[in-house]
């Protein structure tokens, strides 16, 4: 495990150069939230009114959390990097190192986005506080629980995107698959909670990655319950396991047929 | 005792072919065509412990493919490999702990970090305790003279400094074999010489076996006692450096721009390759005549510009082929 923590640390240290870029990037996040906040204000005639079980404040906090998870993830960059690594042969130079490529990809990307996630979380919380005049009711346990599910959500997203990226072993370019995945998460999992969708779609979404990568942690933040935490946590552990197995299988198969430029 | 054993090793690649133009592009989607390239064909060799061996050949000869199979990066199609009694195909990780690799064209260092942080990173991924890593860093910093820039981010280092750091990074875990794939590519002659000296010093100090591929005859001449030449995926020569020098590296190419024409016909040990106007290109057989002698014949006062070089590797290989055919 020490080696993976070092991979995380090294990537984090490398990314300390980009604090200014992260702050500039936050501007886009701010604009998006500002628009959504105004939209919800317009939709809710009374802030205490419930739409599909959510107050206006809960809806806004929901979007703040899902957008933090999504925008700090840097999924497109990760997918592009893995595709390029596979197509350009760079992946070969990781093969003869004493670590698992999947573990390397996971911890190096976690290190790459850790600072961004921290900055987005702090600034997102400040923004939410000023927009809405306070935080949802949380205690130490629920804060820790939300943090754990938030980190696991990021881990699952990275594993799923790594899996998509590794499809480059089979097809020429896996980026279009990432595009589809990102739109799926963005439309069905970021802007609206699962309860907003038609009844027939809800069970499907509950079993889909949306439940573990965005809905779960955000729902816990706006309306915490221990039972909910357990079901999100268990689902996330299952997804981590599935994601890791999928990545390992495609990687092992791909590496056997690897061709490397210049040799 | 042989620590690298290669028997009947072969590797083929399937390369997609595409006809030219838009029509060709569409065609390749529905009816893709592939060409099979035999990169390595039934090669055999062994390397002894502590040896410094040069594995050379022109572009596309199969050098890098072989190195990648020896280091577990590529799977061979056929044949057996044993590196330190480990099969790279089956026990990649175990092998990784025992070998080091430097690919001159591929950075393995984190460019935003300093060499020191990079070495600590490599120590951690090879599961070396912190105290041992520190000692090793100190020792290698001294050996490779990194003191001046050990705390400078890698992105700000010169290419020569970076290569030195790359080599040190691959030595942190004390590998028994170091694979160097074109370590001096793109370096100027002074830096090249410096790297060669350091590699030599390292081999002497740690008894590390060096498996070197290079296009640079100088690297091979200065570092290795044995040479394996590979061309078209086959071993065309496996001999001592001494023999290779005697037979093939005894010829120097002298290109000179002269003030006046010089007649060198019938001079022993000199073959005229080109004589056009005031430009002269000759081959000097140093077994028969020294380069200094040849320059005297040209008359130094008569020379406007001069370049002396080794015979290109490609020419050496074609000479080897010719000799094999004559035999």
Same domain, B214 and B302: no
- Measure the CA–CA gap between B111 and B129, rounded to whole angstroms: 24
Distance CA(A176)–CA(A114), nearest Å, equals 26
Q: Is residue A46 domain-resident? A: yes
B246-270 mean pLDDT: 84
B20 in a domain, yes or no? no
* Chain B nearest CA to A29, separation (Å): 27
- Answer yes or no: is B306 within a domain: yes
Q: Are A213 and A66 in contact (CB under 8 A)?
A: no
Does some domain include residue A263? no
pLDDT at site B240: 87
CB pair distance less than 8 Å for B112 and A17: yes
Q: Does B156 contact A at CB distance below 8 Å?
A: no
Chain A residues in contact with chain B using a Cβ-Cβ cutoff of 8 Å: 2-3, 5-7, 10-11, 13-15, 17, 90, 92-93, 95-99, 255-256, 258-260, 262-263
Checking if the pLDDT of B217 tops 80, the result is no
Residue A263 pLDDT class (50, 70, 90 cuts): very low
Which chain B residues are Cβ-neighbours of A258 within 8 angstroms?
73-75
Most confident of A30-39, A161-170, B58-67, B166-175: A161-170
Judgement on whether residues B221 and B239 belong to the same structural domain of the protein: yes
pLDDT in tens, B119-164: 999 999 999 998 899 998 998 888 888 888 899 999 998 888 888 8
* Residue A15, min C-alpha distance to chain B (Å): 8
CB–CB of A92 and B63 under 8 A?
no
Q: Is B106 in Cβ contact with A93 (below 8 Å)?
A: yes
Determine the average pLDDT of the residues in B99-117: 86
User: Do the Cβ atoms of A96 and B95 come within 8 Å?
Assistant: yes
pLDDT of residue B183: 79
Contact yes or no for B73 and A96 at CB 8 A: yes
Q: What is the mean pLDDT of residues A55-61?
A: 90
CB contact (8 A) between residue A92 and residue B14 = no
Q: Are residues B280 and B227 in the same domain?
A: no
Indicate whether B162 and B274 sit together in one domain.
no
The pLDDT value recorded for residue A230 is 95
Residues B62 and B146 in one domain: yes
CA distance B6 to chain A (A): 18
Helix (H), strand (E) at residue B242 = helix B241-247
Do A258 and B110 make contact, defined as CB atoms within 8 angstroms?
Answer: no
Count of structural domains, chain B = 2
Work out the minimum CA distance from A205 to partner chain B, whole angstroms: 35
Instruction: Look at the block and give the residue holding tokens 């998006």.
Output: A32
| Domain-embedded: residue B319 | no
B120 interface with A at CB cutoff 8 Å: yes
Instruction: Assess whether B234 and B260 both reside in one domain.
Output: no
Any domain includes B173: yes
What is the per-residue pLDDT for B321? 65
Question: Is the same domain home to B241 and B281?
Answer: no
Is B276 in CB contact (< 8 Å) with chain A? no
In terms of domains, do B242 and B271 share one?
no
Q: Specify whether B292 is located in the same domain as B172.
A: no
Q: Which of B122, B124, B160, B155 is nearest to B144 (CA)?
A: B160
Same domain, yes or no: B99 and B197: yes
In a domain, B326, yes or no: no
- Specify the CATH number for the domain of residue B278: 3.30.70
Question: Is B224 found in the same domain as B264?
Answer: no
CB A42 within 8 A of CB A56: no
pLDDT digits (tens, 9 = 90+) for A137-165: 888 999 999 999 999 999 999 999 999 99
pLDDT at A262 over 80: no
Cα of A243 to nearest chain B Cα, Å? 23
Q: How many domains does chain A have?
A: 1
Q: Is the pLDDT of residue B296 over 80?
A: yes
Length of chain A (residues) = 263
Q: What is the CATH number of the domain that holds B58?
A: 3.40.50.300
Interface touch B103/A93, C-beta < 8 Å = yes
Domain of B147 in residue numbering reads as 2-7+41-246
Q: Supply the range of the domain harboring residue A133.
A: 2-256
Closest-CA distance, A91 to chain B, in angstroms, reads 9
Is the pLDDT assigned to residue B326 strictly greater than 70?
A: no
Contact B78, B7 (CB under 8 A): no
Q: Which residue has the higher pLDDT, A69 or A41?
A: A69
**Are A263 and B74 an interchain contact pair (Cβ–Cβ within 8 Å)?**
yes
Choose among A10, A92, A99: nearest Cβ to B110: A10
Q: Has residue B324 been placed in a domain?
A: no
Q: Determine, yes or no, domain membership for B15.
A: no
- Do B224 and B254 belong to one domain? no
8 Å CB contact of A263 and B68? yes
State yes or no: pLDDT of A75 exceeds 70. yes
- Does residue A261 lie in a domain region? no
Residue-wise pLDDT for B9-49, tens only, equals 999 887 777 777 777 777 777 777 888 888 899 999 999 98
Interface confidence, given as ipTM, is 0.80
Per-residue pLDDT of A235-258, as tens digits, reads: 999 999 999 999 999 998 888 777
E-strand spans in chain B?
2-17, 33-48, 52-56, 78-83, 99-103, 177-181, 209-213, 226-231, 234-240, 251-258, 270-276, 279-285, 303-310
Give the 3-state secondary structure of chain A: CHHHHHHHHHHHHHHHHHHHHHHHHHHHHHHHHHHHHHHHHHHCCCCCCCECCECHHHHHHHHHHHHHHHHCCCHHHHHHHHHHHHHHCCCHHHHCCCCCHHHHHHHHHHHHHHHHHHHHHHHHHHHHHHHHCCCCCCCHHHHHHHHHHHHHHHHHHHHHHHHHHHHHHCCCCCHHHHHHHHHHHHHHHHCCCHHHCCCCCHHHHHHCHHHHHHHHHHHHHHCCCHHHHHHHHHHHHHHHHHHHHHHHHHHHHHHHCCCCCCC
Please write the tens of the pLDDT for every residue from B70-84.
988 888 889 999 999
Residues in chain A with CB shorter than 8 Å from the CB of B92 are 95-96
> Residue A228: is its pLDDT beyond 60?
yes
Interface check B132 vs A, CB under 8 A: no
What's the pLDDT score for residue A151? Answer: 95
Task: Report the mean per-residue pLDDT for chain A.
Answer: 88
Nearest to B93 among A10, A11, A98 (CB): A98
Q: Is the pLDDT of residue A261 over 60?
A: no
Per-residue pLDDT at B314 exceeds 70: no
The pLDDT value given to residue B325? 55
- The per-residue pLDDT of chain B, averaged, comes to 85
Q: What is the pLDDT, as a whole number, of residue A155? A: 96
Give a yes or no: residue B14 inside a domain: no
Extract long-range pairs of B60-64: CB within 8 Å, 24+ residues apart. B61/B230, B61/B231, B61/B232, B61/B233, B62/A263, B62/B11, B62/B230, B62/B232, B62/B233, B62/B234, B63/A263, B63/B181, B63/B213, B63/B230, B64/A260, B64/A262, B64/A263, B64/B181, B64/B213
With tokens 């000296």, the residue in question is: B197
Which pLDDT value is given to residue A226?
Answer: 92
Whole-prediction pTM value? 0.80
pLDDT in tens, B218-236: 777 778 889 898 888 889 8
Looking at residue B322, its pLDDT comes to 67
Does any CB of chain A come closer than 8 Å to the CB of residue B194?
A: no
């Amino acid at each position: 495990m020490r080696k993976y923590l070092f991979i995380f640390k090294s990537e984090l240290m490398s990314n300390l150069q980009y604090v200014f870029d992260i702050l500039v990037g936050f501007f886009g996040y701010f604009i998006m939230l500002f628009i959504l906040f105004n939209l919800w204000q317009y939709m809710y005639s009374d802030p205490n009114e419930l739409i599909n079980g959510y107050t206006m404040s809960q809806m806004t906090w929901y979007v703040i959390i899902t957008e933090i998870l999504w925008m700090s993830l840097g999924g497109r960059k990760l997918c592009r990097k893995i595709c390029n690594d596979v197509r350009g042969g760079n992946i070969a130079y990781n093969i003869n190192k004493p670590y698992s490529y999947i573990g390397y990809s996971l911890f190096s990307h976690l290190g790459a986005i850790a600072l961004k996630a921290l900055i987005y979380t702090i600034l997102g919380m400040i923004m939410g506080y000023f927009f809405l005049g306070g935080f949802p009711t949380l205690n130490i346990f629920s804060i820790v629980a939300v943090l754990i599910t938030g980190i696991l959500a990021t881990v699952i997203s990275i594993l799923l995107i790594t899996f998509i990226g590794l499809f480059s072993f089979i097809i020429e370019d896996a980026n279009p698959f990432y595009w589809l995945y990102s739109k799926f998460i963005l439309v069905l999992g970021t802007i609206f909670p699962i309860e907003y969708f038609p009844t027939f779609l809800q069970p499907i979404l509950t079993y889909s990655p949306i439940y573990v990568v965005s809905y779960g942690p955000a729902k816990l933040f706006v309306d915490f319950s221990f039972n909910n935490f357990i079901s999100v946590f268990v689902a996330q552990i299952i997804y981590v396991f599935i994601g890791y197995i999928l990545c390992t299988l495609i990687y092992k198969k791909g590496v056997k047929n690897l061709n490397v430029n210049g040799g | 005792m042989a620590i690298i054993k290669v028997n009947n090793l072969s590797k083929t690649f399937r390369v997609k072919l595409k006809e030219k133009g838009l029509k060709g592009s569409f065609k390749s989607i529905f009816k893709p065509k592939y060409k099979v390239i035999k990169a390595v064909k039934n090669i055999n060799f062994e390397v002894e412990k502590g040896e410094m061996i040069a594995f050379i050949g022109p572009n596309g000869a199969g050098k890098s493919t072989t190195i990648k199979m020896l280091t577990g990066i590529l799977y061979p199609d056929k044949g057996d490999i044993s590196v330190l009694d480990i099969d790279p195909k089956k026990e990649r990780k175990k092998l990784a702990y025992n070998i080091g690799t430097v690919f001159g064209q591929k950075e393995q260092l984190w460019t935003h970090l300093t060499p020191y942080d990079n070495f600590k990173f490599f120590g951690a991924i090879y599961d070396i305790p912190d105290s041992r890593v520190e000692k090793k860093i100190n020792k290698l910093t001294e050996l490779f003279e990194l003191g001046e820039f050990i705390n400078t981010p890698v992105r700000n280092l010169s290419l020569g400094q970076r290569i030195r750091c790359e080599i040190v990074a691959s030595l942190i875990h004390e590998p028994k074999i170091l694979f160097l794939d074109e370590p001096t590519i793109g370096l100027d002659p002074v830096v090249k010489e410096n790297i060669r000296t350091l590699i030599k010093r390292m081999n002497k100090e740690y008894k590390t076996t060096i498996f070197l591929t290079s296009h640079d005859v100088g690297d091979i001449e200065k570092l290795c006692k044995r040479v394996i030449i590979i061309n078209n995926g086959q071993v065309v020569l496996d001999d001592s450096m001494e023999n290779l020098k005697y037979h093939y590296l005894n010829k120097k190419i002298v290109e000179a721009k002269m003030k006046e024409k010089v007649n060198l016909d019938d001079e022993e040990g000199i073959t005229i390759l080109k004589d056009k106007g005031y430009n002269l290109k000759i081959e000097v057989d140093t077994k028969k005549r020294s380069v200094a002698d040849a320059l005297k014949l040209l008359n130094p006062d008569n020379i406007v510009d001069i370049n002396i070089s080794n015979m290109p590797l490609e020419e050496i290989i074609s000479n080897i082929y010719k000799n094999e055919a004559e035999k």
